[in-house]
Amino acid sequence: MEGVRWAFRCGSWSPTRAEWLLAARCVQREEKERIGQFVFAKDAKSAMAGRLLIRKLVSDKMGIVWDQIRLERTPKGKPVVANPIADAGHQKWSFNVSHQGDYAVLAAEPGLQVGVDVMKTSRPGSSSIPEFFRLMTRQFTEHEWNTIRATGSEWEQLHTFHRHWTLKESFIKAIGTGLGFDLQRIEFHISPLQILEGQVCTETRMHLDQEEEEDWTFEECLLDQHHHVAVALSRRGSPAAVAAAEREHFAGHARPLKFTVLSFSELVLGAVPLSEEDPAYWESFEKKQEAPTRQHNQP
């Protein structure tokens, strides 16, 4: 069974009243309330899109009726499917979501460990790029910093910095450790040095504690010229599930999956409302400022 790579462009989504109220009706009450507490509309939209992406995956691929889906969070905050039926399929799906910049993304696979991260290349808010790099020194190894600083202009170096960051975050999210993992333990040897839009590259290798890891594959792509995405995939898991997944992703025969950018109508296709319409929820959203006033996104 083929995996899933979906993206939704939150940054250009200006939801109508009908869209926002429909979206709110299609997520669980506690998630609706959590999303409503965001100060900025940008964050609320990203969080809403992330929840809708998960519910769409569970409905479309796991066969659980939308209004019967029960999502919970692990102690570290990772969304999981609580329905008992979720483990009853031929293969257990692993999924992960990320939202940053203008996109929310979801990656999912049957039988593999999955982590995904998206980052928009943007200038640091309160410091120069050299000063920003100095503050972030401990997040990367000497090899990684040499690669970052060798890529050309300051903007190109920042671009490569964010590429490395998505790789590290995708791995951390796949293993589910959260904060506290020493990022110096993982080192990425990126290849190719530049990724073009429309490509999905899988040549980058990871070293863990100075040993190359053969059990991990990283898919890298650009959603647009500013947004990096990395998907971490691991063969670690149940032997039966891994055996099937290996044939798809690690035997070298299958092409890596490209992200499909969904429209709002595609995102909620098949959705079943869980609650009544709440006009006050729209009124609260409409009053939110889109994002903090100071933003540095372009070179």
Question: pLDDT (tens digit, 9 = 90+) per residue, 15-31?
Answer: 999 999 999 999 999 99
Whole-number average pLDDT of the chain: 89
Question: pLDDT (tens digit, 9 = 90+) per residue, 126-159?
Answer: 789 999 999 999 999 999 999 999 999 999 999 9
Q: Which of 120, 119, 148 is nearest to 134 (CA)?
A: 148
**C-alpha span between 6 and 9 (Å, rounded):** 10
Go through the domains of the chain in sequence order and give each one's CATH number. 1-109+254-294 (3.90.470.20), 113-234 (3.90.470.20)
**C-alpha span between 239 and 26 (Å, rounded):** 36
Q: How many other C-beta atoms are found inside a 10 Å radius of the C-beta of residue 289?
A: 10
C-alpha to C-alpha distances, 232 to 165, 202, 218, 251, nearest whole angstrom:
12, 10, 5, 16
C-alpha to C-alpha distances, 132 to 7, 146, 167, 259, 291, nearest whole angstrom:
29, 16, 19, 30, 22
Question: pLDDT (tens digit, 9 = 90+) per residue, 75-117?
Answer: 877 888 998 754 444 468 899 999 999 999 999 999 899 999 9
Q: Which of 2, 4, 9 is nearest to 261 (CA)?
A: 9
